[in-house]
Structure 1
């Protein structure tokens, strides 16, 4: 049986990681992998996470299963962080295996509700979105999003394409810090998207993987909250990997906002059923870390302060890189880097130019020219800026 399996295409980012490790050149720079790194190149454990884990270790008396949906304390605390004013009579939620698991369960839920569903997804988007949909056999179409000339959002193209979504279709949107481009919609533009969805009856699925990494915890959730208050049905997949720094704990949540309490109950039951079919009970350690932090005022304040430091570090690197490139070129054509938000920016370089950065300067980034700002520090920013110019970008 096993000999009948077909080789699977390797993940491009994981391949890039291995290639980077094998590179023996001094001063090599990894801008590919999508994790936050401090100026020393370390992905740290946050102070509040350490303290929460200590408290859990000291007080936990059992490792028995939680419920199929996960612990209510976790789900309620995280839903409140995302939505602030939680509409309890409309809200269903389940803990998931990371944000990726939440996306998969959201798509499974959509297919249960509408076997003929089509997913509308931004061009470009996080590659795993497309990989999951292809594996599931879900039909999808791409809507215009990134303007490679301005390195901003092609908003007119986006609106025209999203308007083609039908009733009961899914429109997958990035809540903030768009991956891979870093280019975000303004709140006024979100209002226009809401109006289009309201007219068509398509259901938004918001991927909120980077809350707190862009403009702040509340500011980054503002668009999601606007959509949640404006439309009768909304799906939200949120991740704790980045903002709590617990990547390996695989901690996420799927939130479904329904039109009425009866539909909410149906969604809650279906989401628990999907968890049962996929992995039975969700992992708890990361969820318990999050609920411990969010449930304690002092821990929450310390966590929020450290998250602000992370966010401001990335904003400072953006400003420094844009300034270096402005000085080298005598133009503002790279100022989009300072306008982008989150860990990523897409330079708009060709694959050949990205290869030149790797070959000539030992600078590694994804082939579509997505670079991880958090892979830089104050000393490597000038190196990258000079290499960008030398590569003809």
Structure 2
């Protein structure tokens, strides 16, 4: 079925409104489920004061999200109804000659305006909410430095990829999708290989884990599961937040383990090795590879579908453009693709939660389930996690299972 511009416009409006409505309902369900009274099954994890603080943290963030989401909805509807994207397309056509420069200017202007709009929200979240609950360690100076670095990365990386995309579209036509898919695949693999070497150092300092008891325990564990561990780094995560984390990056000899300094401060050596054992479990069970393959396949599917829409002038006209416009069609396609993206994210989150259980099981069997449980409890308490989320909120948003489910699963493998 071929849609005209009015039908496309109606579809786009409905997608925007229904997506907002769905997320709002889920947020409200999660909000109403929060209870300030400490549940019996959480008494060995939280005390009354800490649990009440966690509930308040969830409520404040939910309210903040509802207000920011509503404001974004209103802005988007006004932009769509008054054809602002079409006006912007006419402006860049007058001031730039080639399709590539027009597209870069179009998205550059949108990026700047959108970021200016978001800065007050980001500022309030960081320096009001996170500050109030004791998480924020970022200074205003660091906030702006991060902004400038993100602008630079967006201009370089985003500009190059967008230019290649438009070039392929204008040069090859509808078959552009599979060549750009190869480009994106190479980029995704390269980003995974070089993230901790090239990108992360722009924002954080990485120092090798010094010789000592912890390093010896980590190396001994790696040897026991035939998993060579050489590159272990400590990252200064405390310069931005008191929250803790750990992750693996890269493949083969470029594989690196990164521990936040906040993680080091709050956990015993046994707990730290248990956390690493969990991460090793992801690698041993090929979760990193399967996640990469899933991302590649999803990007290919998205580009294939986009190839049938990017040349449709009715789609451009639906957003107010007078002629076929690739940048306007990118915007329209991104909105229309939202339901498909939602379905794919539900599947990805389901697989991710399954993988977390498997990594927990691996760490329990090969190292110490009790130490892992203690580490997970501390991480949840220190970050004021929601330990009683609504099941629908978990289904739509959680890439990790709720803590209580993980603790029960670990008990089965001890």
Tell whether the structures are fold-level matches, with TM greater than 0.5: no
Name which one, 1 or 2, has greater alpha-carbon Rg: 2
Higher strand fraction (1 or 2): 1
TM-score, normalised via structure 2 length: 0.26
Q: Which has the higher contact order (CA 8 A, sep 6+)?
A: 1
